[in-house]
Amino acid sequence: MRQHHTYTPAVKDLAYTFGGVAPVASLHSGDVLTVFTEDCFGGAVTTIDDLPSRVCTFPYLNPLTGPFLVEGAEPGDTLAIHFRSIVPARAIGVSSTFPHAGALTSTTHTATLQPPLQERVWLYEIDTDAAVVRYRARNSDFVADLPLDAMHGTVGVAPPAFQARSSLTSDTHGGNMDTPELRAGTTVYLGVNVHGAMLSLGDGHARQGPGEVSGVAVEVAMTTTIALEVIKNVPTRWPRIESDDAVMSVGCARPLEDAFRISQHDLVTWTADLTGLDTLDAYQLVAQAGTALVGNVCDPNYTMLAALPKHLLPDPTTVYGGVHQRLRHVPVPAPVVG
Amino acid sequence: MRQHHTYTPAVKDLAYTFGGVAPVASLHSGDVLTVFTEDCFGGAVTTIDDLPSRVCTFPYLNPLTGPFLVEGAEPGDTLAIHFRSIVPARAIGVSSTFPHAGALTSTTHTATLQPPLQERVWLYEIDTDAAVVRYRARNSDFVADLPLDAMHGTVGVAPPAFQARSSLTSDTHGGNMDTPELRAGTTVYLGVNVHGAMLSLGDGHARQGPGEVSGVAVEVAMTTTIALEVIKNVPTRWPRIESDDAVMSVGCARPLEDAFRISQHDLVTWTADLTGLDTLDAYQLVAQAGTALVGNVCDPNYTMLAALPKHLLPDPTTVYGGVHQRLRHVPVPAPVVG
Amino acid sequence: MRQHHTYTPAVKDLAYTFGGVAPVASLHSGDVLTVFTEDCFGGAVTTIDDLPSRVCTFPYLNPLTGPFLVEGAEPGDTLAIHFRSIVPARAIGVSSTFPHAGALTSTTHTATLQPPLQERVWLYEIDTDAAVVRYRARNSDFVADLPLDAMHGTVGVAPPAFQARSSLTSDTHGGNMDTPELRAGTTVYLGVNVHGAMLSLGDGHARQGPGEVSGVAVEVAMTTTIALEVIKNVPTRWPRIESDDAVMSVGCARPLEDAFRISQHDLVTWTADLTGLDTLDAYQLVAQAGTALVGNVCDPNYTMLAALPKHLLPDPTTVYGGVHQRLRHVPVPAPVVG
Amino acid sequence: MRQHHTYTPAVKDLAYTFGGVAPVASLHSGDVLTVFTEDCFGGAVTTIDDLPSRVCTFPYLNPLTGPFLVEGAEPGDTLAIHFRSIVPARAIGVSSTFPHAGALTSTTHTATLQPPLQERVWLYEIDTDAAVVRYRARNSDFVADLPLDAMHGTVGVAPPAFQARSSLTSDTHGGNMDTPELRAGTTVYLGVNVHGAMLSLGDGHARQGPGEVSGVAVEVAMTTTIALEVIKNVPTRWPRIESDDAVMSVGCARPLEDAFRISQHDLVTWTADLTGLDTLDAYQLVAQAGTALVGNVCDPNYTMLAALPKHLLPDPTTVYGGVHQRLRHVPVPAPVVG
């Protein structure tokens, strides 16, 4: 029977890697889970004077809630995670520049001899009723209301090959993909690498521009409800996302063209599977009918997405056995104690 | 007085570079121009048996109509080109794979020891009334109608520094940007590098997926009407595009992250100009409210676009002095002999 | 008192990550260690019919000997590892192509739709007395003797931030750097991230071309003797190497220009420290007097090295307190049972 | 009969592109040519106060001597250019930082919001007798004598496809390759794209570190003698270099891994031609016996070289018909008036 678990981590229970961490709870395929996730700064930035490089301590960045052991998930399976709701848990979102982070600055890897950009914090009022977040310039009275578009930057499972990967990066196991597509109403598919999958998530964004060019979105703690299902004996190589309208493949890599190649390659082979087209015909269809979306161009691995409208598929309900529709609409039982 | 010129090139008048070519006609700021542009294969691919590598001869690829000398355009000015209409001039669009071209193959530059992908041609029926192009699989009976979204892959002026650049590449002078944003209703801004600017265009696409992942869009000859204006003493460093809804900066480079950086950097500084925000405040606004769009990831220079919604600007009519609205709505006089 | 430990791992004791593995033994600063390291294929390739993709099983690739806990090594310190000798432990070295591995093929990340290159194995006779390895073509009678230049592709410590990283990649913790500079007579400096440093090594190469372009060197098990010293309270950000003639900084990243930037940036700041030059003067000296060396262009992170001749330094004995000379020449005591 | 031409350009005769320029003189296959080449700053930097961004004017950078029309050179042929001698024409070489140029700074393409590095000039005394250039720090009394190793950063022919390319970049036509391998005693092979080849050269360096990390070498005007030969009906795709010891392929591209791939791919196929090995056997030989060299990581196209020792070739005299040995040793006749 489908159960609804709830879980709020204590600070000491936050995790900073995918893999290498003991589970905080066990779930079953079909369960629903409501969790609290801290923001990427561990909640330490609350005023414009809280410069992240001062109030945060490496490696205590981008804390994760989890991992959750999913009973029955084994290597070679796929874990489907459907986001039922993602709701800001605070009224203020925070953003900032951060020394040597972001795309329009030199970094530890794109290393230059220039000093870093000034570190500056912005606070965004979040009005969930009006569904807006309010940008306020720091050095003028410019104000702009932007659409609230809550999402998770980070969701993933334990990686393969005995690894434990920082919550700051992404790869085949998911992780810090930082794409605005990870909003409520979508389903993420992740290949299972270890017994129990070991699902973790965090890094809520009230909104994020594609590319996350400054390195930091509108960061906020979230109360998030997900529904899970294990798809047995169906492997998934790279993260995939399904919305009501599109199927999407995620590539995580540097340079950015490899993130593009991975995502498009995965979408071409997936499209061939879903349509019966041969590889070149699928390539052609994706080339003309597909879309390329930018996730982030600031994290250790960049992300890009390749998307195809589902109305082009002969039968969209065959995507991973129709799990997206199922999880999107199943009744959510009342929560029990996590 | 605003004049409406028309021009249809003979085959011998097609150009294959930006720069290094004598003008085919002279125009004045404010004029309207209707031209015929050949497709990227020079019209040589008309059946599925016309493999491009056999029927086309390097360097006679991606022919340009032009250049047009614009009187009064001088280095340091900006040329605004507004696309009034872009209409397929043939009922069939063509696409193909091409040996070692595209993103999901090794190329001359991403050189591997693998043999090329099979070369294959697809023909698309174009129904301008229904505004669709019809994809037909080659190896099955799969058919899909895709929206007609006519655009020009290539538009540019003569480059700086005495150069003549292949019509296959893009750079600060525009060129083969291959972005779906270059559709009717948008205005392109290009910095003028030489006396008369020397405008050329070509490479019509009935539609193109962002990224142009297979290396070839739905290629078709076009009948296109543009309206021009010279903006004196306003330099433009990288190509910019304005639609009714957004301002966009185009970056042309490899690797892809540099195309991203260029476009976002230009949009940040442009946004600072248009809003009075300081640089970091503009960076933050673009990061959360802006969009990153993919042009092509297959040409010698990749392209990415950074876009900001115009409703965020205090006064969108100040963008390049409001030329977009002006050229979008001015009456088009009856054509005269070009 | 300096001790000489010896250690030969059983198959079950081989490790496949840096970090996340319990130590096999403890050492003290100043100790000498002689170990056996398996080759990257786990010794499974012994004939030309042993195709690696068939005889090896992911993730059991590139096994490590270790980790060794170094008493007294704490985060913020540097571990100096001097290679006293690296001697092939077998008479035959093996190389191969491997599906979708290497620089002249598409890969999982530079993903294309092309089939992989043919998988082929080459065996090299190793003549340690003559100091040559013999290349034999597979499809002709071409034979060439190449210099034996034994080295370790992989040496590293546990990474920071609670991570466990695959032995196939490199980063600030060292790892699979795959540079021919890691030969006997050199000292590697690695920043310590965890209590005891947790040193591991493996991936012996009888020789390797810079770039490791085919993805596989002349792989062979090794008997290797290292001398260790902990340098207290001296942090090291990226791996560094010292030979009798040069100081070298290692950058590990994609794209390759970032590996270049990291290595050159580190060498510039290191040179400033060692010479008293200001940053720009050090930049200029490195630019004209330094060298850029290629490590690998095939692993998950590429590596490049920046090197400066030591004769340009005012006092080369000040490099990490002169530990290189010390470890290069200390008497090696007779081994005890590890 | 072999003729020895001499040519010293007036300032008005300097060229700034490959292609698009009328020839300054005609030569024949077999001729010898002695030219003066200006430095990359046009000789405008003579004191430490001559900041290049002030005393130089875009696009009058990196001036070329030429082009020379080589009679009988036609598309499909190869032009062999042997450097007999390269001698500094001034006693002072100059180097500098330059705003947003070099590898350890943001640039116009790796665009960041950081201010540029300080612009600073260094002067190097050149002692041709002692064969040293003297580095002097600007902000301390540190002095170091570095080996004089005179070379040309830039040598090329007119590019294909009706193009004219800036002297600042490199591509299949050669151009600003900026590799220290272009020293006296080597032969460069360039594919001919237009009637007469149109050879130009410039950008002398008293020495240059591989990578040219600061963006500027030790720049100096040169008096250079070359010997030419046209190799009929032998095409050359990418620039190649032959020294007494090695054959080398040059790749020009971004990102840097593509420059690596191009160079290694070309060397593998060339090695297969020269040895009779099949492609995979040649790949394996190059992987273990070859070398990867860094040219520049600062110009519009980066360059890398792949090199193979000639002693591994069955018959090194067959390389381009033995032209290297021929041009290296032919008597140079007394010069005639160019």
Backbone angles phi, psi at C97, to 5 degrees: -85, 160
Closest-CA distance of chain B to residue A206, Å: 10
Contact B162 D20 (CB under 8 A): yes
Instruction: Give residue-wise pLDDT tens across range D146-171.
Output: 999 999 999 999 999 999 999 999 99
- The number of C-alpha atoms within 13 Å of A43 and in the hemisphere containing its C-beta is 14
Q: Which domain CATH number covers A138? A: 2.60.120.580
- Residue A327 falls inside a structural domain: no
Backbone angles phi, psi at A141, to 5 degrees: -100, 20
D254 touches chain B (CB under 8 A): yes
A121 touches chain B (CB under 8 A): no
Contact B113 D255 (CB under 8 A): no
B141 alpha carbon, distance to own chain's centre: 33
- Residue B166 falls inside a structural domain: yes
Q: What are the pLDDT tens digits along chain C (338 aa)? A: 689 999 999 999 999 999 999 999 999 999 999 999 999 999 999 999 999 999 999 999 999 999 999 999 999 999 999 999 999 999 999 999 999 999 999 999 999 999 999 999 999 999 999 999 999 999 999 999 999 999 999 999 999 999 999 999 999 999 999 999 999 999 999 999 999 999 999 999 999 999 999 999 999 999 999 999 999 999 999 999 999 999 999 999 999 999 999 999 999 999 999 999 999 999 999 999 999 999 999 999 999 999 999 999 999 999 999 999 999 998 988 887 54
pLDDT (mean) for B286-307: 98
Give the nearest partner residue to C95 out of D268, D288, D304, using CB atoms.
D288
Contact D117 A116 (CB under 8 A): no
- Residue D98 falls inside a structural domain: yes
Contact D163 B160 (CB under 8 A): no
Distance CA A255, CA B297 (A): 12
Instruction: Give residue-wise pLDDT tens across range A209-248.
Output: 999 999 999 999 999 999 999 999 999 999 999 999 999 9
Predicted pLDDT of residue B337: 57
- Residue B254 falls inside a structural domain: yes
- Residue A77 falls inside a structural domain: yes
In chain A, how many domains are there?
Answer: 1
Predicted pLDDT of residue B336: 76
Cross-strand bridge partners of residue B34 = B6, B225
Mean pLDDT of the residues in chain B? 97
- Residue B98 falls inside a structural domain: yes
Strand, helix or coil for residue D32: strand
B116 touches chain A (CB under 8 A): no
Distance CA C154, CA C200 (A): 8
A280 touches chain C (CB under 8 A): yes
Residue of C nearest to A279 (CA): C113
Distance CA A263, CA A280 (A): 16
Residue A316 has pLDDT above 90, yes or no: yes
- Residue B13 falls inside a structural domain: yes
Predicted pLDDT of residue A338: 44
Candidates A12, A57, A60, A108, partner chain C, best to mutate (most C CBs within 10 A): A108
Residues in chain B: 338
- Residue D337 falls inside a structural domain: no
Cross-strand bridge partners of residue B145 = B134
Give the nearest partner residue to C261 out of A110, A264, A280, using CB atoms.
A110
Closest-CA distance of chain D to residue C267, Å: 11
Residue range(s) defining the domain that contains residue B114? 4-331
